[in-house]
Structure 1
Amino acid sequence: MELARQRILFAASVFILCFHSCCHAERPPSYTFVKHAADGPTVSYHDYIIVGGGTAGCPLAATLSRSFDVLVLERGGSPYGNSNISNLATLVRNLADLTPTSPTQRFVSEDGVINARARVLGGGTCINGGFYSRASAQEVREMGWDAELVDQSYRWVEEEVASEPQLIQWTSALKEGFSMPE
């Protein structure tokens, strides 16, 4: 398990270094539907309220909003205009940013590991470069989760949210180099 984590971290480092020169910050779009809570009405009614505009909350809201009135509550702000998110070369700076407006919040896990969680619309995807992975069957069992429900959830995310990148020759070779021997 530790070897797999080291390989993932190395792959992420290579990915960030390789794309350092082809990134640029985006200008913030004018989203009229994004509001600060203090500017909203004191009372409002919605068909669904989704707490957390992360990797699952945003696509769920987008799917439901086709037929229903949906409110998404997110404790963070919009990622647009934050060069630490939109510029892959500066993505790592999020982990060192301890300011109150940082898109990340540090915490210590139950097993004592210092980590960071997102506090920005888009969730963890905005602070981890868009990496997506599944928990192993063993991890699902150890957590005591319903394996069938977990698999259904992963399938939904993979159909609605995640996409497999188109690999070119050198990225295919890199992926093969990190593959676990069978």
Structure 2
Amino acid sequence: MKKHRHFIIHKPWGMISQFVNPAKRQKKLLGELYDFPEGTMAIGRLDVASEGLLFLTTDGKVSQEIRSSKFEKEYYVQVDGNITQEAVEQLKKGVEIGLNGKKYLTKPGKAFLIEDPKFALRSQKIRDERHGSTSWVSIIIREGKFRQVRKMTAAVGYPTLRLIRVRIGEIKLDNLEVGEVKEVHHFM
């Protein structure tokens, strides 16, 4: 029986969460970080402008399970402006976003204000103080629709400037350096 392997990565900003570049864009691919075994797949991909915890596995059953609503996914989100407690409450209850040309109400989750989480600066500067204030919020969801967190913050009036996934279930980003790959021997 084939022994499956699992990995976690601190995906940097500007990298595609894939091994193949379908659009032939001038972006880095996951395979440039590590020599992954054949059949490795990224689970719950992060878009090019997002950073943080990415889980990879050679086991399709694990992939399906993590993408399900069984596991929480936590994101630290830097938003434009000083987000209000009222907006945070809306994020918790669920907000209406556009999805595939239709309206979609996100499932209730968790959200709370956080202090600047002190992540390393991005290679691409977001902006500086001249453009107004920013704030950080933690958003915890059990679903993962296309660009969902970005759409959620925009729906409550605070567009996302920086998005970092910090947790999937019990697996945390913790002290993983940007671009670092670590093999894990259990997935949850």
Q: TM-score range by the shorter chain?
A: under 0.3
TM-score normalised by the chain length of structure 1: 0.26
Greater relative contact order, per chain length (Cα 8 Å cut-off, separation 6+): 2
Question: Higher strand fraction: Structure 1 or Structure 2?
Answer: 2
Question: Higher helix fraction: Structure 1 or Structure 2?
Answer: 1
